[in-house]
Amino acid sequence: MEKMSEQRWLPLESNPDVLNKYAYGLGMPQSWEFVDIYGLDPDLLGMVPQPVKAVVLLYPINEKSESQPIGSVKPNEKIYHIKQTIGNACGTIAMVHTLANNADQIQFEDGKPFQKFLEATLELSPAERATYLEGDKGMGSAHEDIAQEGQTQAPSRDEKVSTHFVALIDKDGELYELDGRKDGPVLHGKTTPDTLLQDAVAVVKQFMARDPDELNFTLMALVRKG
């Protein structure tokens, strides 16, 4: 576990309006968007625009989730991975993982915070990227601004949050979970650009099976508009 800094950010609310406003402010073009995944049955999954480029999962952290890891850490130098050292910053870490690992397809706006951050950290280690994020005023300000934009009042930055964001991506035909608390990308088997949504949902079902009585799961997908 990477040593946490003294910084604590306001937690992000898990809804597409918040993530989209955040991503557009960072420099993601309007031709991309985050959308809700309303349920895991085939009909509801069929409503999600294709192709899906990443799935963002918010899940509850508790004794069951912490004691029953899923998948295995597999180092992969082609994957952009960043450690989380800032309290309550898991939403931004998931955003970084989602955008950075699709940077070959997303044309980020020049001069906006994310392009600057990505260029500055591309050759750094996951721990060095975390340190850079701690001092990046552009990324930090964008997070703070958007954390207050949700539909509910943002919790205090000192409040212990019991949910956690992770990203699920396809890299060269393999499905990876990216979590700033982990030592590296977590491999969950094979996938394809056409089946990423279904394969990611299969992993989410494993998360849910650890604690069948827990309902606090939220899923969103990154897709190209139109």
Query: Residues with catalytic annotation?
Result: 90, 164
Tokens of 4: 């946490």
Q: How many residues does the chain have?
A: 226
CA-CA distance, 161 to 141, in Å (whole number)? 20
Amino acid present at 138: G
Q: In the chain, what is the straight-line distance between the N-terminal and C-terminal CA atoms, in Å?
A: 41
Q: How far are the Cα atoms of 10, 12, 76, 204 from residue 147, in angstroms, in the given order?
A: 6, 5, 31, 25
Amino acid present at 192: T
CB neighbours of 33 closer than 8 A, spacing ≥ 6? 16, 20, 222, 223, 225
Helix (H, G, I), strand (E, B) or coil at 54: strand
